[in-house]
Amino acid sequence: MYRFAQSPGIRRKTSALAACQIAATLAVLWLSGCAGVAQQTPQSSGQLSVTPSSITFSNVVIGQKSSQTVQVSNTGKANLSVTGVSLTGTGFSLSSVAVPFQLAPGANQNFTITFTASSTTTANATLTIASDDPSSPLTVTVQGTGQSASAAWQITPSSITFPNTTLQTTQTQNASIKNNGNVSVTISSVTLTGAAFSISGLSTGMTLSAGQQLNFQISFTPTVVGGATGSLSVSSSSVSSPLAMSMTGTGQDAPVQHTVTLNWNSSSSSVAGFNVYRGLVSGGPYSQINSTLNSTTLYVDSTVVSGNQYFYVTTAVDNTGAESAYSNEASAIIPNP
């Protein structure tokens, strides 16, 4: 170790410098300590949230009202005090809200905003909610657009043709009326012509809201042979033109069911039963028409068609299942009808 001699003056200067460094260090420590005392942790508070964040009323018919529900919630960790709820803007109204009110963390409260359209021009409003949320007040934009009233409806189908229908029986087909407009339509009159036709599910006083479809039925019950026509007219005071539908149908007698009765003489030998065969050409080919062995010498064929001619033969079957040759042929002509 080497030692350097220093003059007293230099030694004093070094001591003074050290003293200054110590003072500076103490000053820094003192300032740091003061800063620590002054710093405060922010206290938890309520936080206001509104759903929806913006409110839009679209295509509200002029003169009509539309409402939406608004929900205010406390998403913070402390109680929230709501001190004011106001709405500014022409054409809008706010349901009654008693303020102030408290919302616990996670709690919510609903109220309603209503828009009454007076024109097709877009209307604007502002919803303002005041509270003890540090970011208060919270504002929500509100907008509404009106549209002109348009009454329109449609009947489907516009005409119905019923198939040929036996007298005193009923055929039914479905139909519908749909409100294609943007306002409700009330049926003021229903007029049906044609004695053979009837309706169900459709009457005066029924109201169809915008977009609603009404299903109903048209029935045809003929009482006389021949063609029948009818019409349906449906009107409303809301619509300038009534709806119209035409109907046609034909009544006919009940079809005549002809039968052919066959009988024959049995052979003297013992038989277990008989099979009956039928063809459309004399001499065959023939097809068996009895599903089980016929035990008697009588058979009634009820499956014949008007206007046809049929040719019949029979066979005998013994107890062993052996079948005889065809009998002689018989024929029958079926009347038409």
Q: Which residues contact 337 (CB under 8 A, 6 or more apart)?
A: 255, 256, 306
Residues 174 and 238 in one domain: yes
Question: Which of 252, 276, 298 corresponds to the end of one domain?
Answer: 252
Residue 226 lies in a domain: yes
Q: How far apart are CA 293 and CA 198, in angstroms?
A: 50
Question: Which of 147, 172, 193 corresponds to the end of one domain?
Answer: 147
Residue 240 lies in a domain: yes
Q: How far apart are CA 295 and CA 287, in angstroms?
A: 19
b/e per residue, 60-89, with b = 16+ CB within 10 A? bbeeeebeeebebbbebeeebbbeebebeb
What was the pLDDT predicted at 37? Answer: 34
Residues 137 and 89 in one domain: yes
Domain holding 320: CATH number? 2.60.40.10
Residue 8 lies in a domain: no
Phi and psi at 24, nearest 5°, equal: -65, -40
The CB density around residue 252, as the number of other CB atoms within 10 Å, is 15
25 sits in which H/E element: helix 8-38
Mean per-residue pLDDT pooled into runs of 10, the chain (337 residues): 40 41 39 36 77 95 94 95 96 95 96 95 96 95 94 96 96 98 95 98 96 98 97 95 97 90 87 96 97 95 94 94 95 91
Residue 183 lies in a domain: yes
What was the pLDDT predicted at 109? Answer: 96
Residues 186 and 203 in one domain: yes
Question: Which of 147, 170, 197 corresponds to the end of one domain?
Answer: 147
Residue 62 lies in a domain: yes
Question: Per the structure, how many domains does the chain have?
Answer: 3
Distance of alpha carbon 129 from its chain centroid, rounded? Answer: 38
**pTM of the full predicted structure?**
0.57
Residues 74 and 59 in one domain: yes
Omega before 137 within 30 of 0, i.e. cis: yes
Residues 163 and 247 in one domain: yes
Token pair 């309706």 in the structure block, residue: 199
> What token pair was written down for 201?
């599910």
CB 211 within 8 A of CB 205: no
102: containing domain: 48-147
What was the pLDDT predicted at 43? Answer: 55
Residues 167 and 185 in one domain: yes
What was the pLDDT predicted at 254? Answer: 86
Residues 143 and 160 in one domain: no
Residues 184 and 217 in one domain: yes
What was the pLDDT predicted at 202? Answer: 97
Residue 9 lies in a domain: no
6 sits in which H/E element: none
Residue 33 lies in a domain: no
Residue 283 lies in a domain: yes
